[in-house]
Amino acid sequence: MIGILGAYGDVGTHAVRMLQGHDLRLGCRRSGVDFHDQASLDRFAAGCRIVVNCAGPAHLVGDRVLRAAERAGADYVDASGDVTPFAGTAVVGAGLQPGLTGLLPRWVGSDELTLYLGVLDRFTETAAADYLYGVNSPLAAWRDGPVPRALTRRSGVTLPFFPGEVTLLPYLDAEACRIAEQLKLRRGDWYTAVSGEHVLRAFDRLHGMERAEAVPALCRASRLDLAGREPHVVLAVETTGRTVVLRGRSNGELTGTVVALAVEAVDRGEVPPGCHHASDVLDPSIVEQLLDRVEEGAL
């Protein structure tokens, strides 16, 4: 039995679709599973061999679902989450970012790279809340180690793999630093590529807003930017003489797909015991499966 919490949300819906054929238990707040209630989580996890968390916001869920899985003797997969001691096998950060943003550089392999992540999609309240709690170093880059303010914001940039002009916002987060250390990078640049003016203006205003105000502001800005446009996700890695581009229709679809692939890797016994970041422990060849799905039109 694989129990999926948040099964009817933006991410969970796609994870469930990818895991069809497995024996699934689907849970959400409407079905009576409350991640604030330990007894409710324990009832949901009981009898499962893997518990999957697609619920959020991640900063509110914390490790509650993981601990319920541990008490049930189940393994665990989370689209978000942090590494923490765990008695079984757990994979956290199994999404688009973090997740694919670490796996694609590992699959490409190079001592110099530039990564671009562009998402034109609807901000759900959960995604907006988690974005606001995210931690990264803006304008930082990797030069044999993290270097603050090594890069600058660039506007009106045209790149062959993005539709139209984008604004590039440099960042360096914990996943980028881990991958840079693993690959022994000499140089690494990471960029968020923003193609919507409303979201860009919302980003610029966030530092002066209360969180209760910032979440709906991001959601509203994303809806305005999407008006009359098709949502898309573009993740690209450039190295010397090579560029790899992965495209998807939405953040939820790509994240749900990575969650499902992580579940299957755990189920096959391919992940060692303990709690691991997905980008550190999953086989980078997962990227090949995703590229194949893109070519087939499945993403």
**E strand or H helix at 282:** none
Residue 47 one-letter amino acid: G
Quote the pTM value: 0.93
| Domains of the chain and any CATH numbers | 2-95+254-296 (3.40.50.720), 100-250 (3.30.360.10)
11: β partners:
none
Total Cβ atoms within 10 A of residue 39: 9
Query: In terms of Cα–Cα distance, which of 257, 248, 182 is closest to 19?
Result: 257
Query: In terms of Cα–Cα distance, which of 136, 233, 131, 125 is closest to 175?
Result: 136
Report DSSP letters for 81-113, one per residue.
------SSEEEE--BTTTBHHHHHHHHH--SEE
Chain-centroid distance of CA 139 in Å reads 21
Report DSSP letters for 19-83, one per residue.
TBTB-EEEE-TTTT--TT-HHHHHHHHTT-SEEEE--S-HHHHTTHHHHHHHHHT-EEEESS---
H-only helix segments in 168-299: 174-183, 197-205, 211-226, 251-267, 278-281, 286-296
Asked if residue 170 has a cis previous peptide bond (ω within 30° of 0), the answer is no
What does each of the 299 residues of the chain score in pLDDT, given as a tens digit? 999 999 999 999 999 999 999 999 999 888 889 888 999 999 999 999 999 999 988 888 999 999 999 999 999 999 999 999 999 999 999 999 999 999 999 999 999 999 999 999 998 898 888 888 876 888 999 999 999 999 999 999 999 999 889 999 999 999 999 999 999 999 999 999 999 899 999 988 887 788 889 999 999 999 999 999 999 999 999 998 899 999 999 999 999 999 999 999 999 999 999 999 999 999 999 888 777 655 444 55
